């Protein structure tokens, strides 16, 4: 460092390994690189001072095909100078290209924060003089001493004086390099005579012994890992059986009270799945083909959960498909007419055929018989003659998960329900739990997607 110049490196503990911030810096460095082949990008076309790293030097240090300018036509790139560039351990030379058609005086200095780990850098140019008028390259040598392990911070300070202004411009080039201690060959002194042992010529007996010891250690580690995996597998199987028994014994009311604040429910694969908010599986696969089921047979399967049409009031249309609609509805309590609750109501359009109506009812029948905290069961149906059939499901205030995520993305800045990355992971875990339960019940969902999930915020 030149006398009187501030130390931009600051105090930093020696020997600390580079952290993840390195990759962020390297990524940000992409914005500083001059793309090869731009018109007028050559230094010969600039009359002022140019100091930069050539394309070959940038490729050697960080693997990118571009030039990195620190000064271009007397304009200093402070953003490039602010980066503390990591020098690979095996690299011992840095090369800088510079030129100035006008007269520019320079003065060069170095500062190393750990002189024990790295000797003072050397260069092939004088420490002060004039910047050459033609394009040239000067070299800086960075050799580690091999005496200790340490991350060495290097500052190369270049002071340039432009005669037109007589102002001194200070350029601080920051570099850091990992230096490692050299391992000396082991020597044993006997009777004033030193015997050097070459690792290549170690006695065969010692090599064999080390080999058998290594094999034994590896076998012991493998055996231990196998035992741990077996114990974890047995513990997982017992927990799965316990969860299944608890889920099967829970009532539909208990399903509406999940242990987490936000809960995702999966929807069964239903015809015209463009209606995103509807029933979510507890589905059971029938062996008989859907085409062989008549409308009357389909109604008979859900007769035990059928309710009167007068108890259901349709409100807004939430989603609409080719032949189906999803409404926000109100269900009046059977015992107390003053009690109401919100429900999803799935029905068909006027032009729906009998086959399409049968498909909707039959697919809704599959949403019965299974119980899990991440599966949304069917509630009731309305199958009165002369009326379009309706399928009722518990109302989820988030609604369709796909539309909810899109809404959060579009208005993320002003949305009070903005979700974090941790929330997204938690949603995925809940969906995976529901699918795992279906897999253990040998049920295939056939159409797992965000549009077939709903969310509820307690």
Report if residue 407 sits inside a domain.
yes
Q: Same domain for 365 and 264? A: yes
Burial zone of 172 (CB within 10 Å; 0-12 exposed, 13-18 middle, 19+ buried): buried
Report if residue 429 sits inside a domain.
yes
CA separation for the pair 418, 423 (Å, rounded): 10
Active site residues: 447
Q: Same domain for 423 and 276? A: yes
CB-CB contact of 345 with 336 (8 Å): no
CA separation for the pair 377, 283 (Å, rounded): 9
Q: Total domain count for the chain?
A: 3
Report if residue 10 sits inside a domain.
no
Mean pLDDT of the chain: 77
Report if residue 349 sits inside a domain.
yes
Q: Is the pLDDT of residue 1 over 70?
A: no
Q: Same domain for 426 and 321? A: yes
Query: What CATH code is carried by the domain that includes residue 57?
Result: 2.60.40.2170
Is pTM beyond 0.75? Reply is no
Of 230, 249, 268, which residue sits at a domain end?
A: 249
Residue with tokens 């009690």: 339
Query: What CATH code is carried by the domain that includes residue 359?
Result: 3.30.200.20
Q: Could you tell me the residue range of the domain that residue 42 belongs to?
A: 21-179
Of 249, 284, 307, which residue sits at a domain end?
A: 249
Q: Is the pLDDT of residue 54 over 90?
A: yes
CA separation for the pair 106, 127 (Å, rounded): 8
Report if residue 184 sits inside a domain.
no
Q: Same domain for 234 and 314? A: no
Q: Same domain for 307 and 386? A: yes
Q: What percent of the chain has pLDDT over 70?
A: 71
H-assigned helices in 250-385: 252-255, 295-301, 354-365
pLDDT tens figures, 258-311: 333 445 555 544 433 333 333 343 334 444 445 578 888 888 888 888 899 889
Burial annotation 267-285 (CB, 10 A radius, 16+ → b, else e): bbbbbbbebbbbbbbbbee
Of 160, 179, 198, which residue sits at a domain end?
A: 179
pLDDT tens figures, 355-403: 888 888 887 777 677 888 888 888 889 988 888 899 998 888 888 888 8
Beta bridge partners of 275: none
Q: Same domain for 51 and 166? A: yes
DSSP 8-state code for residue 452: G
342 backbone φψ class: left, alpha, beta (φ>0; ψ -120 to 50): beta
Report if residue 241 sits inside a domain.
yes
Q: Is the pLDDT of residue 424 over 80?
A: yes
pLDDT for the residue 245:
56
Report if residue 190 sits inside a domain.
no
Read off φ and ψ for residue 63, nearest 5 degrees. 75, 25
Q: Same domain for 237 and 326? A: no
pLDDT tens figures, 65-103: 899 999 998 899 999 999 898 999 899 999 999 999 888
Q: Same domain for 312 and 220? A: no
Q: Same domain for 315 and 340? A: yes
* Separation of CA 290 from chain center: 43
Read off φ and ψ for residue 264, nearest 5 degrees. -105, 145
Residue with tokens 């969310």: 455
Q: Same domain for 370 and 341? A: yes
Q: Same domain for 26 and 154? A: yes
Read off φ and ψ for residue 43, nearest 5 degrees. -65, -25
Report if residue 199 sits inside a domain.
no
Q: Same domain for 131 and 268? A: no
Burial zone of 85 (CB within 10 Å; 0-12 exposed, 13-18 middle, 19+ buried): buried
pLDDT tens figures, 308-347: 988 999 998 888 888 888 899 999 988 888 899 999 999 9
Type and span of the H or E element at 94: strand 93-100
């Amino acid at each position: 460092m030149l006398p009187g110049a501030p130390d931009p490196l600051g105090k930093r503990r020696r020997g600390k390994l580079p952290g993840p911030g390195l990759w962020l810096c390297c990524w940000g460095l992409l914005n500083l690189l001059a793309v090869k082949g731009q018109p007028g990008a050559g230094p010969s076309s600039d009359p002022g001072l140019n100091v930069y790293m050539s394309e070959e030097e940038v490729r050697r240090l960080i693997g990118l095909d571009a030039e990195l300018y620190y000064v271009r036509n007397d304009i200093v790139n402070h953003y490039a100078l602010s980066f503390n560039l990591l020098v690979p351990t095996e690299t011992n030379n840095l090369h800088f290209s510079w030129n100035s058609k006008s007269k520019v005086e320079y003065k060069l200095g170095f500062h190393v924060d750990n002189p024990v780990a790295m000797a003072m850098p050397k260069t092939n140019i004088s420490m002060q003089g004039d910047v050459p008028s033609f394009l040239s390259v000067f070299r800086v040598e960075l050799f580690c001493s091999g005496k200790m392990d340490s991350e060495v911070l290097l500052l190369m300070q270049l002071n340039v004086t432009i005669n037109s202004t007589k102002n001194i411009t200070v350029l601080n080039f920051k570099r850091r390099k990992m230096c490692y201690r050299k391992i000396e060959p082991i020597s044993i002194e006997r009777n004033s005579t030193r015997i050097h042992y070459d690792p290549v010529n170690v006695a065969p007996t010692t090599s064999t012994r080390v080999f058998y010891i290594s094999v034994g250690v590896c076998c012991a580690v493998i055996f231990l890992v196998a035992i741990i995996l077996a114990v974890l597998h047995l513990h997982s199987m017992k927990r799965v059986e316990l969860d299944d028994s608890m889920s099967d014994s829970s009532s539909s009311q208990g399903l509406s009270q999940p242990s987490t604040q936000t809960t995702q429910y999966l929807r069964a694969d239903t015809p015209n799945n463009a209606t995103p908010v509807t029933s979510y599986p507890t589905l059971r696969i029938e062996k008989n083909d859907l085409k062989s089921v008549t409308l009357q047979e389909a109604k008979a399967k859900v007769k035990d959960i059928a309710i009167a049409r007068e108890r259901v009031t349709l409100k807004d249309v939430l989603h609409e498909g080719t032949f189906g609609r999803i409404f926000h509805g109100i269900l009046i309590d059977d015992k107390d007419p003053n009690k109401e609750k919100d429900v999803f109501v799935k029905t068909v359009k006027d032009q729906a055929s009998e086959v399409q109506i049968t498909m909707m009812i039959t697919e809704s029948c599959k949403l019965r018989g299974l119980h899990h905290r991440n599966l949304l069961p069917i509630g009731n149906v309305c199958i009165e003659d002369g009326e379009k059939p309706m399928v009722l499901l518990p109302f989820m205030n988030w609604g369709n998960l796909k539309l909810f995520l899109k809404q959060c993305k579009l208005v993320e800045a002003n949305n009070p329900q903005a979700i974090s990355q941790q929330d997204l992971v938690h949603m995925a875990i809940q969906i995976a739990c529901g699918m795992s339960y279906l897999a253990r019940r040998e049920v295939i969902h056939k159409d797992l997607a965000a549009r077939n999930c709903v969310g509820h915020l307690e």
